[in-house]
Each structure stands twice: as structure tokens, then as C-alpha cells.
Structure 1
Amino acid sequence: MNWLNSPGAMETATKAREELISAIFVRPDSPAAWQFAGTKPYTHGISPGCVLCGQGKWSCLFINNICNAACFYCPSGQNDRGLPMTSTVTFEKDLDYVRYVNRFGIEGVGFSGGEPLMTVDRVLDYLRAIGEHACRPIYTWMYTNGILATEDKLKALRDSGLNEIRFDLSADNYNLSGLEKAVGIIPVVTVEIPAVPEDLEITKPLTAVLSSMGVNYLNLHQIRCTQFNRPKLVRRGYTFIHGPGVSVFETELAALELIRYTLDRDIPLPVNYCSFTFRNQFQKAAARRRNANLIKKDWEEITPTGFIRAMSITGPNERLGLVLERFRSQEDEGWAVSTKQDRILFHSRLWQLIDFTGLELKVKYNTTALRPAATLRYPFTKVRLNQDKAVVIERDDRHQGIRLKGDEIPAFARQFLTPSGSGADPVGLSPEQDLAFSRFETFDQGLAPLY
């Protein structure tokens, strides 16, 4: 594997990326902007489904695990029809899935695979069930390579409630026949492809064609490397970058080049780049947040990144007693006392009632995971969807507790609890403390570092 690991190569790669970003954003009246902590650059807008994805309000339902294409970049084998699945939980019955959507506060559902059109009746059943039984409006979309797209299937999908369809044109040599059928039938038509560097001579002029056809959005995503696709990516001579996962650097440059191309030629097609750092951070945070909402205690909170934050104070009995008197005078259940009566747990909305003089603050973080059944390695809560179907949410201590005293306490509040808090506090927290908190409280800004 060709890793981007030498100082010279990293410097060259960084310069190439910065030049493209500058060409996109540093221009008069640029329609380009950033979303989601600077991990997603886009022009003219992004689709409702992408917004829900970034906000963590969607569920990706893998309707099957079979495919009729053989894309070199596919991250997994597609050879098992299987059962519809999301977050490791299978749903044999469509109504069970709708109850999951209702219970977890989901507002958008994306149907993926495999290739969903290979089991189109399944998609239609789940779409109808969502339309009939969801307790809130659900925005729905479906991914497809378009090979099996027919006018009858597209109309059936529309009539069953599909709001958006996304075509991976690169899976079928950029064949536009399925896409042409969908425009005018499905309300929102999107092209979603990996930014393949070797295909730029095809995809650049294609952007104008898509715009003239009435395609609503072009989504470009970064190719990630897995054990399944690694040999094919290596044979193409790609450069790999480290991070939470392994991704292909050249696809990032290709995505930015395509965005610049559309701006240089005033092509009004909305384009967004779905980087791996966006997916890794925001989609994982979304899953944690959905789970945490169902199991957190009244005195606990959910951080922007989806972790459960638990704060508590310890100190002399008389100091804790004064805090308890103030808490008890409020009609607020956002606090509790430990079994040994030596610790008070509290929600940050009660912060102003506390005089922290002589007290120690402890901030602890938990993470969550949704499972079809308990692994028995962690504490868990069973969430029943109906009489026959239940899932479990496991809870794991991710940090046993960061302890703060004196000036460190208000510094933590200024930086992580108040809306205006941003950047390192000049007085109070050490760099080590700031790093420890940031891991659970904030998203990494910008595109992935090249190292």
C-alpha cells in the first residue's frame, strides 16, 4: 500500500488540497459553503436527506445484501439476500422497523443495499408501512445503480412515498438511461458517486448534462479502504491516508476538482463532497445520540458528539448541604445524591445554583451501542418495540472521570457548557485537560489531517 507518510509527499498533498479549496471559496460571490464542522464543502445547497444525515436524524436500512454490479470500490461483499438491517439489528417485519423509527425519533430513512431494486417489493412494503404507521413525517430516499430501473418501478416507488432517489452512475459506466426515467417521476433525483480520479474526464462534462436534465443534486463521496476492496484499490496505485479509518486521498482531490469545475463554468448543479471524516464523526455521533436519548438519567446530558456526560461534585458535608438546600428549593429533578451521600450528581441547568468554593467537580463520559441482544459485557437497557421484538442499548464507560478544582471549573463551563464557548480557555484548563474534554465534547474541525 502506498501511504502518504513522507514529509515531502504530505507537503505536496496539503498544498494541492489548499489550492483547490482556495479556488472554490476565494472568489467573488462564491456559492460554496461548509457544513458540519467544516467536514462537508458544498455549493448551492444539499439535499434534505443529507441534512438529516448530518443532523443524526436518519436511519439507513440495508434492505438486502445482494448486488448486480461489481464496483471496484465497494467496501463489502454483496452476496447474501439477508434480512433488512440497520445498526446490526435485523427487521423481518416492516411494522417492527416502523416502531423502531418511531421509538428512536428518526425523521429520515435511506434504503440501501446491495441493490434495493433487486428486492423492490421489499422496498415498497417498508415504504408503505412507514407512510401508514410512522408517528411523524418521514423523508425517504433510496440508493441504486439504476441497472434495473424501469418506469413502472419508479412510479410504484413514488406512489408508495419515496421522496428522493440516488443513482450511482459509476456502477454502470455512467449510463444515464435509469436516471432519465426517474427525472419527472421521483420528486428529488440525485446522483451520488465516488469521486473516481481516473473518471474526471467523464464526470467533468457530465455535470453540465446532469444540470440540464433536471437532476437536483450531485453527491461525491470519498473512497474508503476495507479488507474487501483493498487489493483493487492497491492495483490502481492510490495513495492511502491514516485516520479513524483508511481512505483514498486522490478521491478527495477529485471531488474538490469537480466542485471547482462547476463553479468555473457557472454550472448551477448543487454539489457536495461527503468526506470520510464527515461520515466517521457525524454518523457515529448520530447513533450514540439516538441511543442516549432513551437511557440517560435526568441529571445526565448528551454532548454534541453523542456521548453521555455525567457531572458530580464532592467536598465537605457542609458545602454539599448548602448545594442540596438550593436544589431542593427548585422544582427541578435534574439532580441526585449518591448512595453514600458523599456525591451530588446534577444537570448543567442547575450550574448557577452551585458555589463551587471548596468543591471538586468530576465529569464522566459514557458511550452507547445498539444491539439485537445483550453481549453481557456492559450494562444494558432493553427497549421493547412490541410484544415480540426488542433491542438493547449497551452503556460503556468511555472515561472514568476528569476531576477539576478551583479555576478549572469555570474554565470548563466557559468552554464546553455555554453556547459562546469555543477554543481553548486562556485561564483554567491545561492543554491535557482541554484535549481530554474535546474528545467527547466537540467535533474535529475541517477535512482530515494528512499524516
Structure 2
Amino acid sequence: MPQESGVAPPGRSLSQGCVLCHQGAKMVLFVTGRCHRTCWYCPLSRERKGLDVVFANDRKVSSPPDIIEEAENMSALGTGVTGGEPLLVLDRVVEYASLLKEHFGPDHHIHLYTALAPDEPMLECLRGLVDEIRLHPPHESWPCILDTDFARSAILARRMGFSIGIEVPALPGIGDLAAALPLLDFLNINELEWGETCAAAMRERGFEPEDGLHNAVLGARQWAEELSADQKVHFCSSIFKDSVQLRERLKRIAANTARPFDEVTDDGTVVYGVLEPAGTLGGFLESLDEDDYVICEGRVEMAWWVLADNADRVPGRKYVVERYPNRGMVVEVTPL
């Protein structure tokens, strides 16, 4: 089976971007949903695809300081710049990368995904700001990859001091990219994933999900095996992204943002109790320390076990919330 990114076996080395992703230490900076290509396998959500929006992790960015705040919230050691097509907004990439390097220092590692083949003027704009470039040549170009601008861009980028690689989903015919390996520092293969916006295209091509629990497409691991023997090739499974990269990133955010009464789970989510009072609370809040609760829009949030122990004492609607840290997505709500 292909070796998954995150743990490098003897003789192999991961790109620095992959090492930091494995640690959950990379912020994901989505700089635009605009793209010049219409890849049938693109998994972007409807909230991002084709839209000129910016997100730092799952937080919508309204101004550059939001990016620094999100990076600080997770003690980020680096940033992955993605889209859409980031180089369609090159000035934005330069602005944000400069901001991150100035704030966190030159060791803040930045890698960038692009489905363009950046030329020398583009690369000159990125030099000193972006450390690692991950090219995404279109599927139809793989059989003749050495005759494409992507090959020429890889040679030029390496000469200019960038770490350069290709990152693509596992698709039939991926073995054609073996010809490009001498030009690269790494080749990352992501397990092909089923998504809401690409499901119809997947069905048209006869693909189906591997099971009912995960987004992986049946057969993707086997296609990746065509290149699994090469030391520069790394495979990143759908499960790995969900169970390791995301979890570790959430844990870093939770460590910096959890309130004294939040319980942080092994998955990096936070759990707390919510009381929507009905009538007076009879001195209940006065019995708690000021760090034991907060009042948000008329609701009282507190340690879930304190609320559970006093459920019969206080009138109103009571429930337990599990959500991503820093007021992120709600995972589950359980009535008490």
C-alpha cells in the first residue's frame, strides 16, 4: 500500500510543509475561490467554489489582522496558501505572506498550491515569502508532463531556491507523473475524495465512495500504488487528513482559546453546558466563581458537569454543546 504522509519510512523524507501539517501546526489560508480551471474532481464547498472569499482555517476573513489572530490562536508554525487559484490574486498572496513573515519571522513556513505554472516574474514576486510550491497539473497533461509549462516551472523554481513538488489527487494514470520526479523535491498524492459539488461528476465516471463513513473514493489507493515505490512520493489518505491533521490543529486552537470551564476532548473539540433560564435562578450563579460561567445573549454557559449536577435546581432549557474551538462549528447538542 502507498505510504501515508505524516510518518516517513527509512529512506524517505517529507516536505517541511507536510511535517508541519502532520503536527496540526499549519494554518490553512484560503485566499480565493476563483479558479481558471473547472476540474471535475474539485471538492470545494458551495460556500467557497467560484467566490472571491478569504478564510483562515474555517474563519471568514474580513481584514488582514483576522489572519494573524487565527494563526496566533493555533500557535501556527506555518501556513498553507490555497484556493481556488491563489495566483489569480497574486498581490493578495504577497500581502498576506509578507504579513505572516513580518509578524512571525522568516521561519514561519509558507507553502502554496497552484494549478498555474508560475513563470519567472511570478516566482520573483514569491521569492523570500513562499518556501514551498505545490504544482497541480491538470489530469489531461500527465501523459506528456515533461512537455508542459509545469515541468519548465519546476526547473526554474528549484533553481531560484524554492522547494518544489507536485500535489494531485489519486486518479487513473497517475503513473505518468513518474517522468517528472527527477525535476521535483516531492510528489504528494491525495486520496480522491467525494464531495457535494463533484458528486455528479464522480457518478458520471462510474466512481463511488469507498464506504458510507468516509469521503474516500473506491479504488483511489490502488491507483496511487503505481508510484508508491519512489522515495519522493507520499500518499495522504482521506482518513489521515480528518483523524490526524484536523484533530491536531483543533487541539492547538483549543489549548489557546478554551475557557476555564470548557472541557477539551481528545479530538480537539470543546464541551460545555448551556442554560436558557426560565424565571429566577435563586442565587445559583452567586454560588459559582466568576470563571465558572459566562452570560452570552441571555444564555448561561458553564461547565457541563456543573449544569448536569444542578439540573433539577435551575429552571429552563438545559443542554450540552460540543463544538470546534473558538466558537467554531457545532458538532453535537445533547439535551439534559
Show the 5 A alignment for 1:252-401. Answer: 252-260=221-229, 262=230, 269-296=231-258, 302-308=264-270, 367-369=322-324, 392-393=327-328
Alignment of 1:210 with 2:181, yes or no, is: yes
Q: Distance in 2 between matches of 1:42 and 1:230?
A: 38
Cα offset for 1:399?
7.5
Amino acid at match of 2:268: G
Normalising by structure 2, we get a TM-score of 0.73
- Aligned residue for 1:130? 100
Structure 2 letter corresponding to 1:369: Y
**Separation of aligned partners in 1, 2:242 and 2:78:** 19
Could you tell me how far 1:133 is from its partner in structure 2? 1.7
Report the TM-score when normalising by structure 1: 0.56
- In structure 2, relative to structure 1, the CA distance for the partners of 1:43 and 1:144 (3 Å cut) is farther
Deviation at 1:95, TM superposition (A): 3.2
* CA gap 1:44/1:95 in 2 versus in 1, 3 angstroms: same
Q: Any unmatched runs of 5+ in structure 2?
A: 143-147, 273-302, 311-319
Cα distance in 1, alignment partners of residues 9 and 225 from structure 2: 9
SS in 2 for 1:219: strand
Assess if the C-alpha contact under 8 Å between 1:141 and 1:165 holds in 2.
Answer: yes
SS of 2:127 mapped into structure 1 = helix
Partners of 1:172 and 1:186 lie apart in 2 by: 28
Match of 2:111? 141
Say whether the 8 Å CA contact 2:74–2:249 is kept in structure 1.
no
Q: Mark the structure with the bigger radius of gyration.
A: 1
Q: 1:196 aligns with which of 166, 171, 177?
A: 171
Which letter does structure 1 place at the counterpart of 2:324? A
Q: Which residue of 1 aligns with 2:202?
A: 233
| Offset at residue 271 of structure 1 (A) | 1.3
Deviation at 1:104, TM superposition (A): 2.7
State the shift of 1:178 in Å. 2.6
Provide the C-alpha distance between the structure 2 equivalents of 1:400 and 1:43, rounded to a whole number of angstroms. Answer: 52
Query: Cα offset for 1:110?
Result: 0.6
Shift of 1:286: 3.1
The one-letter amino acid of 2:66's match is: D
Number of residue pairs aligned between Structure 1 and Structure 2: 289
Alignment CA distance shift 1:61-1:142 (3 Å) = same
Shift of 1:68: 0.9
| Alpha carbons 2:110, 2:131 under 8 Å: kept | yes
- DSSP-derived class of the 1:249 partner: coil
**TM-superposition CA deviations, 1:385-441 (whole Å, max 9, x none):** xxxxxxx4577767799xxxxxxxxxxxxxxxxxxxxxxxxxxxxxxxxxxxxxxxx
CA drift of 1:103 comes to: 3.3
After superposition, the CA RMSD in angstroms is: 3.6
Is the Cα contact below 8 Å between 2:268 and 2:324 reproduced in 1?
A: no
1:54 positional shift: 1.6
Which residue identity does 1:237 align to in structure 2?
Answer: G
Gaps of 5+ in 1: 1-20, 25-32, 263-268, 311-335, 344-364, 371-380, 382-391, 402-451
Q: 1:100 aligns with which of 50, 70, 74?
A: 70
Identity, % of aligned positions = 23
Q: Deviations over 1:247-278 (max 9, x none)?
A: 21211111123203x3xxxxxx4211111111
**Residues 1:184 and 2:184 aligned together:** no
CA drift of 1:172 comes to 6.4
- The whole-number CA distance in structure 2 between the counterparts of 1:43 and 1:152 is 35
